[in-house]
Structure 1
């Protein structure tokens, strides 16, 4: 059985998230998805997600291609591999060729893990959705005043 692993905040769940999860599941028998905790997001992105952790987990858990949902409490994916022993690591292509990921990829290759880079869905992201919502809220409040 081939096990795949991916992580994400999955805030304001959108088609890009679904595309990545479906592509990942097509390459493995069991897909483990780690949802980033609110605390970890605050630590590395310096902001809280809009949708609380428990709700984001529930959303991801109910996607049919996802087999297991766990909490992502560390950015160290190799530490997680030591516990889960997955065969594939699925990440966004924004990490591809970065010095940090080239080092990580070699580390994973040494233990037989294939790192697969998926392109992001053009034109959609949680950040973009949030910016649009904030702009609309601002326009609405200005028109009320």
Structure 2
């Protein structure tokens, strides 16, 4: 039986941390689906519009050999995403591990057989750090 994996992100200013997550996620599933946050969702949640437009971010992630499918992420309702995509595993950065939000997701998803795997967050490179450098130019 094919294992379907799912991860999400803005994937703005694509960098090695993004690549590492996608590469690692693909090792843990047979089919990897990546949800890309829309510009509107990013603005609503982070108060800023990504530097790279939504369609270009979709195209970049879709071109990566570890990714099998790319879908828009229009909200943060992970259970709605599961209802639409029926993934078996969800991948997220370990900076969320132990948070109330993700403890709730773990409980909710355990009822439908979805496993949540936490991957190490890339501390030395982030889109936020890259954006700060660009703002200084």
**Secondary structure at the residue paired with 2:29?**
coil
Q: CA deviation at 1:134?
A: 1.2
**Structure 2 equivalent of residue 49 of structure 1:** 50
**Structure 2 equivalent of residue 109 of structure 1:** 110
Can you give the 5+ residue segments of structure 2 that lack an aligned partner in the other structure?
Answer: none
**Structure 1 equivalent of residue 92 of structure 2:** 91
Cα distance in 2 for partners of 1:88, 1:95 equals 16
How many residues of Structure 1 are paired with residues of Structure 2 in the alignment? Answer: 136
- 2:59 matches 1:58: yes
**Secondary structure at the residue paired with 1:94?**
helix
Task: For residues 55-84 of structure 1, give each alpha carbon's deviation from its aligned partner in whole angstroms, at most 9, with x where no partner exists.
Answer: 000000000000000000010111110111
Task: For residues 59-115 of structure 1, give each alpha carbon's deviation from its aligned partner in whole angstroms, at most 9, with x where no partner exists.
Answer: 000000000000000101111101111000001111110011101111011110000
Cα distance in 2 for partners of 1:33, 1:2 equals 14
- 2:104 matches 1:74: no
Cα distance in 2 for partners of 1:47, 1:98 equals 24
Can you give the 5+ residue segments of structure 1 that lack an aligned partner in the other structure?
Answer: 138-145
Larger radius of gyration: 1
**Structure 2 equivalent of residue 9 of structure 1:** 10
TM-score by length of 2: 0.97
- 2:21 matches 1:20: yes
**Secondary structure at the residue paired with 1:75?**
coil
Displacement over 2 Å in runs of 4+: none
TM-score by length of 1: 0.92
**Structure 2 equivalent of residue 128 of structure 1:** 129
